[in-house]
């Protein structure tokens, strides 16, 4: 599990630790880890000795880390030059150490010739807003030669706590972050600027609060959470998931939701709605009922919404499902038809799976506002509906009311935006609910498997939803193997 803490918490933890350590010790620890990471990048194309390294140095401690790390590289024989984004404010200790090690300050990258590495030490957790014009110009000049870029703590210019990119920002190949991940390193679009992440332990673990603000499942977490497939021969013991989806207008959504449900670990899928013929034609193993969900027999969880349309039967199906005393997942048209009071009155778990547009409608705000503040939006929805909320996007987020860490899905891809892929996800997550996973786990494991399956199916291009569904079993086997 990758944990992330907001910058205010990180700063407080760093201050606490600094009080117990000699001056500058934390910065030197950070710089040592940064120098090792830079050495690894340099060694990809040769050696540290004789390589040419360009430091972009800001006026705060982020610049300090960079100068001390530059001094270490210079002592190992690299040619190191510093460009100061805030002349006169550069960290004096770091600057002295760089010069003593044979490094130098230059005014422009011209004259230093082609470099092997650029180190972005302009701003870390003290950065506010996109890069200022002078800093942006420095970055543009320094990165014109296409050398690899290592960002220090964060790519300068991104919002560390929200993942937003409000102005010009560095695009790094690697981000070396200190003590803990920050939300902006895990949430798009900022995460897209960070490149590969390397975490340097500077001893913060002992002073950070137990509960992070954000966490991202890793392979091993998913393997531990997945219900063991096939151990209970009695498929009904593995839970039956009900799917109330589709309409005469959109029978396809029912087929896709059922295809996701069939791969989610539930023992059986029970379909209720007008798409029964289309469903049984594609998935003959489905238990189908042409009537309303309330007449469809027992299930351990319901999925309601994909392709329902807004017919009277649709309204009835949503009401039936919300009245059922089992965990339910509401998606797509179900989100539009559901009654807030009915959702909040439920005892059993409720999972809502809006995309940004549906979240905006539920919150009564513009879609751009949701896209600009995804973390705040998903938390607000979870509180307002007292439900687990999965906010789809190139970084899917899962929030619960009551302040549990928000889950960030690390396997998302923008290619998932194709029609119907949400139907597959809702069936998959609902099936994991029926198989007994807690709501937050069912939603985040569902998103994880769904994202992996999309990556397999797409090979870099938009992917058809049915191809995503088809890849889920192999992804499951790999995670579980």
Site for ligand NAX, rule CB under 6 A? 14, 18, 26-27, 30, 58-63, 65, 86, 89, 122-129, 131-132, 135, 152-153, 178, 202
- Inter-CA distances, 245 with 235, 314, 331, 422, 424, Å: 23, 8, 9, 12, 11
Q: Is 120 in the site for K ion (CB under 5 A)?
A: yes
Burial per residue of 50-80, b for 16 or more beta-carbon CB atoms within 10 angstroms, e otherwise:
ebbbbbbbbbbbbbbbbbbbbbbbbbbebbb
Beta bridge partners of 28: none
Nearest CB to ligand NAX, comparing residues 11 and 211: 11
Closer CB to ligand NAX, 200 or 272, in the complex? 200
CB of 288 to ligand NAX, least distance (A): 57
By CB under 5 A, tell whether 136 contacts K ion. Answer: no
Residue 111: CB atoms within 10 Å: 8
Q: How far is the CB of 119 from K ion (least distance, A)?
A: 9
**Is the CB of residue 28 less than 8 Å from the CB of residue 71?**
no
Q: Which of ligand NAX, K ion, none is residue 176 near (CB under 5 to 8 Å by kind)?
A: none
* CB 424, CB 451: distance < 8 Å: no
Q: Tell whether residue 334 is among the known ligand binding residues.
A: no
Q: For residues 405 and 209, is the Cβ–Cβ distance under 8 A? A: no
Q: 128: annotated binding-site residue?
A: yes
What residue 120 binds from K ion, ligand NAX, none (CB within 5 to 8 A, per partner kind)? K ion
For the chain, how are helix, strand and coil distributed in percent, rounded to 5? 45, 15, 40
Q: Does residue 423 have a known ligand-binding role?
A: yes
The verdict on whether residue 421 carries a ligand-binding annotation is no
Shortest distance (Å) from residue 9 CB to ligand NAX: 13
Q: How far is the CB of 11 from ligand NAX (least distance, A)?
A: 6
Distance CA 111, CA 63 (A): 22
Q: Which of residues 151-190 bind K ion (CB under 5 A)?
A: 151-152, 156
For Cα atoms 101, 115, 79, give the angle at the middle one, nearest 5 degrees. Answer: 15
With contact defined as beta carbons under 8 Å apart, do 199 and 153 qualify? no
Residue 145 assigned to a binding site: no
Per the annotation, does 333 bind a ligand?
Answer: no
Q: In the complex with K ion, which residue's Cβ is closer, 156 or 259?
A: 156
Query: Minimum distance from CB of 294 to ligand NAX (Å)?
Result: 56
List, as residue ranges, the binding site for AMP. Answer: 392-396, 422
Binding residues for K ion (CB under 5 A): 120, 151-152, 156
């Amino acid at each position: 599990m990758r944990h992330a803490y907001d910058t205010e918490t990180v700063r407080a933890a760093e201050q606490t630790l600094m009080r117990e350590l000699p001056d500058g010790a934390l910065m030197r620890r950070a710089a040592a880890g940064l120098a090792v990471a830079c050495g690894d990048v340099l060694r990809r194309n040769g050696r540290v000795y004789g390589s040419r390294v360009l430091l972009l140095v800001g006026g705060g401690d982020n610049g300090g880390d960079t100068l001390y790390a530059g001094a270490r590289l210079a002592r190992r024989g690299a040619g190191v030059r510093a460009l100061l984004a805030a002349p006169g404010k550069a960290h004096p200790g770091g600057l002295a150490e760089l010069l003593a090690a044979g490094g130098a300050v230059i005014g422009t990258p011209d004259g230093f010739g082609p470099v092997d590495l650029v180190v972005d030490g302009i701003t870390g957790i003290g950065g506010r807003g996109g890069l200022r014009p002078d800093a942006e110009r420095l970055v543009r000049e320094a990165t014109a030669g296409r050398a690899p870029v290592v960002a220090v703590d964060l790519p300068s210019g991104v919002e560390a706590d929200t993942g937003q990119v409000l102005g010009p920002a560095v695009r790094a190949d690697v981000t070396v972050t200190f003590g803990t991940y920050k939300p902006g390193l895990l949430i798009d679009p900022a995460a897209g600027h960070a490149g590969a992440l390397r975490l340097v332990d500077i001893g913060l673990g002992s002073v950070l609060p137990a509960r992070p603000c954000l966490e991202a499942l890793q392979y091993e977490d998913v393997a531990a959470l997945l219900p063991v497939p096939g151990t209970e021969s009695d498929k009904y013991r593995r839970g039956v998931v009900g799917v109330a989806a589709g309409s005469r207008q959109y029978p396809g959504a029912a087929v896709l939701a059922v295809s996701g449900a069939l791969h989610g670990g539930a023992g059986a899928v029970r379909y209720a709605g007008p798409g029964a013929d289309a469903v049984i034609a594609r998935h003959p193993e489905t238990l189908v009922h042409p009537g309303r969900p309330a007449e469809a027999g027992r299930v351990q969880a319901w999925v309601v919404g994909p392709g329902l349309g807004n017919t009277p039967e649709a309204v009835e199906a949503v009401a039936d499902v919300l009245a059922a005393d089992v965990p339910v997942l509401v998606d797509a048209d179900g989100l539009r038809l559901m009654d807030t009071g009915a959702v909040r009155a439920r005892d059993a778990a409720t999972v809502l799976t809006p995309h940004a547009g549906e979240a905006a409608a539920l919150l009564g705000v513009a879609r751009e506002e949701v896209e600009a503040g995804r973390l705040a939006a998903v938390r607000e929805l979870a509180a307002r509906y007292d439900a687990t909320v999965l906010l789809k996007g190139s970084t899917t987020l899962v929030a619960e009311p009551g302040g549990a860490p928000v889950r960030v899905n690390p396997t998302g891809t923008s290619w998932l935006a194709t029609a119907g892929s949400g139907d597959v996800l809702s069936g998959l997550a609902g099936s994991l609910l029926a198989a007994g996973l807690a709501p937050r786990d069912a939603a985040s494991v569902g998103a994880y498997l769904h994202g992996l399956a999309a990556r397999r199916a797409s090979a870099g291009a938009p992917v058809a939803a049915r191809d995503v569904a088809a890849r889920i079993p192999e992804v499951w086997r790999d995670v579980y193997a």
